[in-house]
Amino acid sequence: MNNIIALPAFKDNYIWALHSLDGTEVIVVDPGDPKVVFDYLQKNKLKLSAILVTHHHWDHSGGVRALVDHFDSVSAYGPIGEKVDGIKHFVSEGDEIVFPSFQLTLKVLEIPGHTLGHVAYFNEDILFCGDTLFSCGCGRVFEGTAQQMVTSLNKLKALSPRTMMYCGHEYTLANIHFAQNVEPHNKALKNRRILVEDLRHRDLPSLPISMGEERKTNPFLRCEEPEVIDSVQKYAKISLNDPISVFAHLRQWKNEF
Ligand SMILES: [Zn+2]
């Protein structure tokens, strides 16, 4: 397995650094701040091989131009539907990117909603999903519709329960607070809170987390669960008959929480 390290950036972003098997090269995911990457490469004497960008927001893509200008041989990948300065390789649904020296192949999923061109990179073991899915939460629907976001989250939900999810922000504890209001009787969520509080207390990332665990604890992946529907209906004060309406009101609730 490739070693994957969280590089904290800004207030609560993570730039993910995926190492080659021999430990000499890295691929970085969503380098919003180039200085964080430059410092990490220098300190650990690493070569930057590639950059993956999930969506155009500056806190995920703002470092691409400086990194590709500095390192000639770096390949930068990003979504076909979005403009990111420095990206030369545009990816779309079904594409496969092969990194021979990492013995790694990543596939591309289009997951619009947070932004219209947002993509994820994944294989059986790992998922980089930017700001679409967070642990115990999901991204705000800035550019797309609730319908698009639900379709995107369903694509992620369909991945193997063993797949480890690496998202773009450390929002887990705040998300758990909200999720426990939605599902006060969810035991898996209670247990997750204890684990995450301990990790955060020691200043460690709450990530990655398996998709199997997310399915048990993330209300945005659980819009068909009776307790979620019931709570959202009480909040919205109307009867909701389909998962998209449940999601839309759940997202609205979180925005106002
Ligand atoms: Zn974003």
Rounded to whole angstroms, what are the CA distances from 167 to 101, 103, 206, 249? Answer: 24, 22, 10, 23
- Which phi and psi angles does 78 have, rounded to 5°? -160, 170
Q: Count Cα atoms within 13 angstroms, Cβ side, for 178.
A: 23
> pLDDT tens, 21-40?
999 999 999 999 999 999 99
Average model confidence (pLDDT) across the chain: 97
- Strand-strand pairing, 126-128 and 164-166: parallel
d(CA 22, CA 34): 24
Q: What percent of the chain has pLDDT over 70?
A: 100
Q: Quote the tokens at residue 221.
A: 């992946």
Residues with Cβ < 8 Å from 84, sequence gap 6 or more?
53, 56, 61, 64, 78
DSSP letter (8 states) at residue 169: B
Rounded to whole angstroms, what are the CA distances from 68 to 72, 85, 183? Answer: 6, 10, 45
What pLDDT shows up at residue 144? Answer: 97
What pLDDT shows up at residue 151? Answer: 98
CA of 146 to the centre of ligand 1 (A): 16
Q: Quote the tokens at residue 108.
A: 């591309």
CA of 22 to the centre of ligand 1 (A): 32
> pLDDT tens, 198-256?
999 999 999 999 999 999 999 999 999 999 999 999 999 999 989 999 999 999 999 99
Cβ–Cβ < 8 Å for 200, 168: no
Q: Quote the tokens at residue 147.
A: 């319908």
Rounded to whole angstroms, what are the CA distances from 173 to 133, 184, 194, 196? Answer: 14, 15, 10, 7
Cβ–Cβ < 8 Å for 57, 69: no
> pLDDT tens, 157-196?
999 999 999 999 999 999 999 999 999 999 999 999 999 9
Confidence of residue 146 (pLDDT cuts 50, 70, 90): very high
Q: Quote the tokens at residue 184.
A: 């006060």
CA of 131 to the centre of ligand 1 (A): 5
CA of 187 to the centre of ligand 1 (A): 30
What pLDDT shows up at residue 1? Answer: 82
What single string gives the DSSP state of each residue in 139-162?
Answer: ---SSS-HHHHHHHHHHHHTS-TT
Q: Which residues pair with 251 in a beta bridge?
A: none
From the centroid of its chain, how far is CA 43?
A: 26
Residues with active-site annotation: 55, 57, 59-60, 114, 131, 169
Q: Which of 51, 53, 71 is nearest to 129 (CA)?
A: 53
Confidence of residue 74 (pLDDT cuts 50, 70, 90): very high
Q: Which of 231, 244, 245 is nearest to 181 (CA)?
A: 231
Residues with Cβ < 8 Å from 237, sequence gap 6 or more?
none
d(CA 171, CA 12): 7
What pLDDT shows up at residue 96? Answer: 98
CA of 208 to the centre of ligand 1 (A): 18
Q: What is the largest CA-CA distance in the chain?
A: 58
Whole-number CA gyration radius for the chain:
18
